Amino acid sequence: MGCASSDIRENNSQEPNSVKRNLVITGANKGIGYATVERLVAENAQFDIIATSRNVELGEKAAREIRNKYPNFKNDLIYRQLDVDDEKSVNVFVDWVKNKYGKLDVLVNNAGVLYENPTVDQQIKTIKTNFFSVVTLTEKFLPLLTKDGKIVNVSSIVGSLSWQGPTLRKAIENERITEKQLFNIAHNIIEETRDYPKEALISDPSYPASKALLNTYIRRFLVAKLKDNQQCYSLHPGVVQTDMAAGLEGKIKLITPYEGADTSVYLINLPFVKNSEFNGKFFDNRKVVVY
> What per-residue confidence (pLDDT) applies to 243?
59
Bridge partners for 22 per DSSP: 48
> What per-residue confidence (pLDDT) applies to 18?
53
DSSP string for residues in 109-131: E------SS--HHHHHHHHIIII
> What per-residue confidence (pLDDT) applies to 4?
44
Ranges of the chain with pLDDT below 50: 1-6, 8-17, 245
> What per-residue confidence (pLDDT) applies to 241?
67
Domains identified in the chain and CATH numbers: 18-289 (3.40.50.720)
Q: What ranges make up the beta strands (E) of the chain?
A: 5-8, 22-25, 48-53, 77-81, 104-109, 145-154, 231-236, 282-284, 287-289
Q: Please state, in angstroms and as integers, the Cα–Cα distance from residue 228 to each residue in 77, 156, 159, 283, following that order.
A: 30, 27, 27, 21
pTM of the model: 0.91
Contacts of 290 (CB under 8 A, 6+ apart): 282
> What per-residue confidence (pLDDT) applies to 247?
53
> What per-residue confidence (pLDDT) applies to 200?
79
> What per-residue confidence (pLDDT) applies to 249?
55
Q: In terms of residues, how long is the chain? A: 291
Q: Per residue in 142-174, is it b (16+ CB within 10 Å) or e — as a string?
A: bebbbeebbbbbbbbbbbbeebbbeebbebbee
> What per-residue confidence (pLDDT) applies to 251?
54
DSSP 8-state secondary structure symbol assigned to residue 14: P
